[in-house]
Amino acid sequence: MCLTASEPPTMRSKAQTHLHIRNITRRRRLLREQKEMEMRNLNLFLENQSIIGENEALKRKALLLHQENNALFSLLHPKLSSVSTTFL
């Protein structure tokens, strides 16, 4: 026979109840803060991906402009060399 089965359930003291409530409240707060941090992290990740995409588009545009600049310079360069030789 088990002695504890025949005994009435013990009452928690006020201090134990207060401590239990504080632990539950702390756990809930930590979970809420964790969810908020995950949402912040997700938003920053999405913003970062957007910036990376914009950066790649700007790099492609810069490359095209550089190629166009080189092509225009090569067209202009023979004219500059012929003009400079005519004055000599």
Structure-token pair, residue 21: 């409530």
How confident is residue 40, by pLDDT bands cut at 50, 70 and 90?
very high
At 64, is the secondary structure helix, strand, or coil? helix
- What does pTM read for this prediction? 0.58
| pLDDT score, position 80 | 65
| pLDDT score, position 77 | 80
pLDDT tens-digit map of 50-87: 999 999 999 999 999 999 999 999 988 876 656 555 55
How confident is residue 1, by pLDDT bands cut at 50, 70 and 90?
very low
